[in-house]
Amino acid sequence: MQSLLLRVDRLSTWLGQLFAWLIVGLTLMITWEVFSRYVLNTPHDWALDAQLIMYGSLFMMAGAYTLAKNGHVRGDVLYSFFQPRTQAGWDLLLYFVFFMPGVVAMTWAGWNFANESMAIRESTFSATPIPVYPFKFVIPLAGGMLLLQGIVEIVRCLQCLRDGVWPSREQDVEEVDIEKLKAMVHVKDEDIAKLDQLLVKREAAQ
């Protein structure tokens, strides 16, 4: 079971990292458009539409990736003080009450929305229109990935309720881990406490 959960994590991670390259594309496109508009005096009417489509695709596909990394915003003021089983219980409740209905609705509606867009070959309203319908299929794709990752998170909640600890998940780029940093530079908590005491003494002497 754990191997299957981690495979879904890897899929969400791979798709998130794939769509993250849109950031590079956006950067290059905006840079070129600014240069073209203000230096060459040849703006492109389709550029803004393309930027919005790229950013929207990036934003949508980041959902499952962020969920796989446990990176979505939550009320940590209280949540962080709960025991793992209490955290899992609240998460499980909220997944069933809010997350699953919303994501299922988004996936279903997004699929219909994308098919309707394809049926009329929807495009932008700029003087040089670009097709929109291929990108609207990102909506059900993002919803489907969120749904799959959400099921994985529900299973993790059930495992935590059973075992009392959170199961492992696929790791990616993380913020600085203070404990790992201490170990790398061979600093102990006692050393930090002694340094604090020394600073307090110096401040008192001044």
Query: Which residue, among 112, 103, 191, 179, has the nearest Cα to 147 in the 3D structure?
Result: 103
CA distance linking residue 41 with residue 37, whole number of Å: 5
**Which tens digit of pLDDT belongs to each residue from 17-72?**
999 999 999 999 999 999 999 999 998 889 989 999 999 999 999 999 999 888 88
The reply to whether 128 and 186 lie within a common domain is: no
Q: What are 133's two structure tokens?
A: 């319908």
Most confident of 26-30, 79-83, 173-177: 26-30
**Which tens digit of pLDDT belongs to each residue from 108-166?**
999 999 999 999 999 988 888 899 999 999 999 999 999 999 999 999 999 999 988 88
The reply to whether 148 and 169 lie within a common domain is: yes
The reply to whether 183 and 110 lie within a common domain is: no
**Per-residue confidence (pLDDT) for residue 106, from 0 to 100:** 94
Residue-range definition of the domain harbouring residue 59: 2-174
CA distances for 98 relative to 101, 110, 141, angstroms: 6, 18, 20
Q: What are 59's two structure tokens?
A: 């934003």
CA angle, residues 86, 3, 92, in degrees to nearest 5: 25
The reply to whether 11 and 88 lie within a common domain is: yes
Res. 104: pLDDT tops 70: yes
Instruction: Tell me if 144 sits within 8 A of 107, measured CB to CB.
Output: yes
The reply to whether 91 and 186 lie within a common domain is: no
**Per-residue confidence (pLDDT) for residue 204, from 0 to 100:** 65
β partners of residue 131: 123
The count of structural domains within the chain is: 2
Confidence of residue 107 (pLDDT cuts 50, 70, 90): very high
The reply to whether 190 and 168 lie within a common domain is: no
Residue 23, sorted as left (phi over 0), alpha (psi -120 to 50) or beta, turns out to be: alpha
